[in-house]
Amino acid sequence: MIAVTTDTFEPEVRQAAQPVLVDVWGPRCGPCLALMPFVEEVAGQYSDRLKVVKVNAQENRRLCVQLKVMSLPTFLFYSQGQEVGRMTGEVKAHELQRWIEERLNQAV
């Protein structure tokens, strides 16, 4: 799982050959930190079908404004360079996994 910034978002996410899950998190966001180990697990589990990246909202405020991120955590799903899904707020790991699987099935 790699960290992306305002400068690297375009090549890493919008120009990616495979679907991308973007985890927008903050260092003071309890739910973000609680989900981070699960998101890292997802990155390994789906590595052949899904690229997983993270955006530190505190360090990339301009990017968060561009992406219209209003709360943390926010998960964005990109397919063929376009945002095709968004999940925001405190979620449980199993809910996030089901959401990811649904997006992956639609991206095929």
End-to-end CA distance of the chain: 22
Q: Are 2 and 12 a contacting pair, CB within 8 Å?
A: yes
64 tagged catalytic: no
**Residue of 36, 68, 67 whose CA lies nearest to 53:** 36
- Of the residues 24, 32, 57, 69, only one is catalytic, namely 32
- Of the residues 22, 29, 43, 64, only one is catalytic, namely 29
d(CA 100, CA 19): 10
d(CA 54, CA 3): 5
Q: Are 88 and 22 a contacting pair, CB within 8 Å?
A: no
32 tagged catalytic: yes
Active site residues: 29, 32
